[in-house]
Structure 1
Amino acid sequence: MAPKVERFPLGEFTLLGGQKTTDWFLEYRALGNSQSPAVLKPTCFGGSILSNDIPVGEEHTLTPTKYFIILVGMLGGGESSSPSNTKAPYDGPRFPPIMLADQVAAQKKLVESFGIQKLWAVTGYSMGAMQSYQWAVQFPSFVQHIIPTSGSARCSPHNHVFLEGPKNALLADGRFKNGEYTKNDIPDLGLKGFARAYSGWGFSSTWYREHRYKELGFKDLEDYLVKYWDEGIGAMDPNDLLSLVKTWQTGDVSNIPPYHGDFKAAMQAIEARALIMPSTTDQYFEAIAGEYEVLLMKPGVGKYNPIISIWGHQAGASSNPIDTKFYDDSVAELFAETEAKLKA
Structure 2
Amino acid sequence: MSGYETFDLGPTALQSGITLPAAQLAYRTYGTLNADRSNAILYPTSYGAQHADIDWLVAPGRVLDPERWFVIIPNQFGNGLSSSPSNLPLPFADGRWPVFTHWDNVHAQRRLLREVFGIERLAMVYGWSMGGQQALHWGALFPQEVATICAVCTSARTSPHNKVFLEGIRAALTADAAYQDGRFVSRPLRGLRAFARIYAGWAVSQTFYRREMWREAGFASYDDWILRGWEGNFLRREGEDLLSMIETWIRSDISANPVFDGDLAAALNAIEARTILMPCDTDLYFQVADNAAEVALAPRIELRPIRSDWGHRAGNPQLSPPDEAVLRAAVAELLAG
Does the aligned pair in 1 maintain the 2:173–2:192 contact within 8 Å? Answer: yes
- Asked if 1:174 is matched to 2:173, the reply is no
- The equivalent residue for 2:228 is 227
Instruction: Render the CA deviation track for 1:200-238: whole Å, top value 9, x for unaligned.
Output: 001000011111111221111111111111111243101
Cα distance, 1:198–1:178 mapped onto 2, change above 3 Å:
farther
CA shift digits 1:229-275 (9 cap, x unpaired): 11112431010000000000111110012211111111111111111
Counterpart CA distance in 1 for 2:23 and 2:222 is 40
Q: Whole-Å Cα distance in 1 between the matches of residues 177 and 44 of structure 2?
A: 33
String of CA shifts for 1:68-125, please: whole Å, max 9, x gaps: 1001111001111100011112224211011111111111111112000101111111
Match of 1:163 among 159, 162, 166: 166
- 8 A contact 1:191–1:235 mirrored in 2: no
Does 1:27 find its partner at 2:26? yes
Q: CA deviation at 1:60?
A: 2.1
Letter in 2 for 1:65: E
In structure 2, the partner of 1:190 is: 191
Is the CA contact (8 Å cut-off) linking 1:52 and 1:318 kept in structure 2?
Answer: no
Deviations 1:14-47 (A, max 9, x none): 1011111231111111111122510000110011
Classify 1:54/1:255 alpha carbon distance in 2 versus 1 (closer, same or farther; 3 Å): farther
Partner-residue secondary structure (3-state), 2:149: strand
Matches within 5 A, 1:32-47: 32-35=31-34, 36-47=38-49
Looking at structure 2, the residues matched to 108 and 52 of structure 1 have their Cα atoms a distance apart, in angstroms, of 21
Residue-pair matches, total? 331
Q: Distance in 1 between matches of 2:181 and 2:190?
A: 15
Alignment check: 8 A CA contact 2:139 2:146 kept: yes
Are 1:121 and 2:120 counterparts? no
Structure 1 residue 296 displacement after superposition: 1.6
- The answer (yes or no) to whether the contact 2:124–2:148 under 8 Å persists in 1 is yes
What's 1:70 paired with?
Answer: 72
1:334, distance to aligned residue in structure 2 (A): 1.9
Q: How does 1:1-344 map to 2 (within 5 A)?
A: 4-35=3-34, 36-52=38-54, 55-112=57-114, 113-182=116-185, 185-297=186-298, 299=299, 301-319=300-318, 320-336=320-336, 338=337
Which stretch shifts more, 92-101 or 272-281? 92-101
Q: Which residue identity is paired with 2:331?
A: V
Counterpart residue type for residue 110 of structure 2: K
Does the 8 A contact of 2:153 with 2:286 survive in 1?
Answer: yes
Distance, in Å, in 2 between the alignment partners of 1:209 and 1:92 is 43
3-state SS of 2:52 partner: coil
Contact 2:184 2:239 in 1 (8 A): no
| Range moving further from structure 2, 148-157 or 54-63 | 54-63
**Following TM superposition, by how much is the alpha carbon of 1:61 offset from its aligned partner in structure 2, in angstroms?**
4.4
Q: Which whole-Å CA distance do the structure 1 matches of 2:44 and 2:195 have between them?
A: 23
Q: CA deviation at 1:181?
A: 3.1
* Deviation of the 1:164 alpha carbon: 1.2
Contact 2:281 2:306 (8 Å CA) reproduced: yes
SS of the equivalent of 2:151 reads strand
Report the alpha carbon displacement of residue 314 of structure 1 after superposing the two structures with TM: 0.2
Write the distance in 2 (CA, Å) between the matches of 1:170 and 1:80. 22
- Relative to the length of structure 1, the TM-score reads 0.93
The 1-side partners of 2:23 and 2:61 are apart by 35
Secondary structure, counterpart of 1:11 in structure 2:
strand
Distance 1:120 1:205 in 2: 37
**Structure 1: how far apart are the matches of 2:234 and 2:210?**
23
CA distance in 1, matches of 2:222, 2:250: 29
Supply the AA of the counterpart residue of 1:266.
Answer: A
Greater shift in the superposed pair: 3-12 or 206-215: 3-12
State, as a whole percentage, how many aligned pairs show the same letter.
40
* Structure 2 unaligned regions, length at least 5: none
How many Å separate the matches in 1 of 2:181 and 2:66?
Answer: 44
